[in-house]
Amino acid sequence: MTRIAVLASFNMDLVMRAARRPEAGETLQGEFAMFLGGKGFNQAVAARRLGADVAVVGRVGDDAFGARFLAALDAEGIDRTAVSVDADAGTGVATVVVEPDGTNTIIQAPRANRALTAHDAERFWQRTARRPVRGRAGTALLNLETSMPAAIAFARAARDAGARVVLNPAPAVSRLPDELLALANVLVPNALEAQALTCVSVRTPLDALGAMMVLPRGPQALVVTLGERGAVAVAKDLRLHAPPPAVEVVDTVGAGDAFCAALAVRLGEGAGIEDAVRFANAAGALAATVAGAEPSMPRRRAVEALLASSAAVPR
Ligand code: RIB
């Protein structure tokens, strides 16, 4: 079993399904639902359901939302020894609008996530994540929903421990600290995040390849996720566009997180980038077939079944 350490953000997702996004000054009515979410939490849950041994570091508030996250981590069998409860800041919250075609827009209030410190991340690697699994140092998976100092310290400690660092630069930033970029082995932005980093408009696989050429050097592999168009990967001797398996899209919230987790799991298992991207595409596609973040994180057997059935049906 491969080991994945995740820099976890925790957001309670307050989701409105509506006919469209409101215009400025407009009130619309929609259907409401609440789901456990947060990029780091989603990634941790997906990695676990895909078969990894998962440990997380993060921070929740001392409130009902925080308690629900702690219980969910326990139920999934995720090591949460390094998740602290903040006495002052509440658990992160995200307001999500999902449109009929399943696409989403999100506003996230980091709250307790932002209070995570570099020291918390370093201590996590000293006490929890460094423990190797069958001799493997494992994989570190991080996003940018906690604090930047925590993200940098997490990546640095991971590399010191010999782990592979997979960086999902989300939410989008226009510039990544040089140190963080240098620590990443694999960079996995979506189209908007790649665009924010490069100022290159990214809509098509060809655009994504163009953006990758101007992305700052550092990571050995760059993987841009393109939603229904799949993903594009660039690594040494590899230029790949992998379309995803066809699915009925219900809600794309968390699809990118499932993709990142699946990529990290397969790389941790020793797969090459091409194999890992195809596996991740299937995980992301499956996540888009179910409403909500946490409920949509797919299990290993479902991903393998989708891969097998889509290999049998020519597109
Ligand atoms: O990537 C999806 C996640 O982004 C949601 O669960 C929401 O919490 C936001 O952080």
Annotation: CATH topology of 3-19+32-311? UDP-N-acetylmuramoyl-L-alanine:D-glutamate ligase (3.40.1190)
Averaged pLDDT score across all residues of the chain: 93
11 CA from centroid of ligand 1 (Å): 7
Instruction: Give the other-Cβ count within 10 Å of 105's Cβ.
Output: 10
pTM for the model: 0.95
Ligand 1: nearest atom to the Cα of 145: 10
Of 183, 177, 86, whose CA–CA distance to 141 is shortest? Answer: 183
> Torsion-angle region of residue 103: left (phi > 0), alpha (psi -120 to 50) or beta?
beta
Name the band, by pLDDT with cuts 50, 70 and 90, for residue 313. Answer: low
CA–CA dist 184, 51 (Å, integer): 23
Q: Label residue 135 by pLDDT band (50, 70, 90).
A: very low
Tell me the mean pLDDT in the region 275-285.
97
Q: What pLDDT score was predicted for residue 131?
A: 61
C-beta 296 within 6 A of ligand 1: no
Distance 153 CA to ligand 1 centre (A): 22
Q: Is the CB of 253 under 6 A from ligand 1?
A: yes
Q: What is the pLDDT of residue 134?
A: 44
- CA distance from start to end of the chain: 33
Q: Give the number of the atom of ligand 1 that is nearest the alpha carbon of residue 13.
A: 8
CB atoms within 10 A of CB 103: 16
Question: 170 CA to middle of ligand 1, Å?
Answer: 9
Residue 132 has pLDDT above 60, yes or no: no
Q: Does 53 sit in the ligand 1 pocket, CB within 6 Å?
A: no
CB 151 within 8 A of CB 183: no
Where do the domains of the chain lie?
Answer: 3-19+32-311
| Residues 59-116: tens digit of each pLDDT | 999 999 999 999 999 999 999 999 999 999 999 999 999 999 999 999 999 999 999 9
Kindly report the backbone phi and psi dihedral angles of residue 118, in degrees, each rounded to the nearest multiple of 5, phi listed first: -60, -40
Element (H, E) at 278: helix 273-287
Catalytic pick among 13, 53, 207, 257: 257
Element containing residue 164 per DSSP (H, E): strand 164-167
pLDDT in tens, 148-180: 999 999 999 999 999 999 999 999 998 899 999
What's the sign of the alpha-carbon dihedral 176, 41, 273, 315? negative
Atom of ligand 1 nearest to the CA of 9: 10
DSSP-derived secondary structure for 174-207:
S---HHHHHH-SEE--BHHHHHHHH-----SHHH
Is residue 257 annotated as a catalytic residue, yes or no? Answer: yes
pLDDT in tens, 212-249: 888 766 788 999 999 999 999 998 889 999 999 999 99
DSSP SS3 for 59: strand
Q: How far is the CA of 94 from the centre of ligand 1 (A)?
A: 7
Q: Which of 16, 96, 188 to mutate to test the pocket of ligand 1 (most atoms within 8 A of CB)?
A: 96
Dihedral sign computed on CA atoms, order 41, 46, 49, 52: negative
Distance 41 CA to ligand 1 centre (A): 9
* CB 61, CB 85: distance < 8 Å: yes
For a mutational test of ligand 1's pocket, the pick from 6, 9, 11, i.e. the residue with the most ligand atoms closer than 8 A to its C-beta, is 11
Q: How far apart are alpha carbons 130 and 141 in whole angstroms?
A: 14
Q: Tell me the pLDDT band of 184, cut-offs 50, 70 and 90.
A: very high
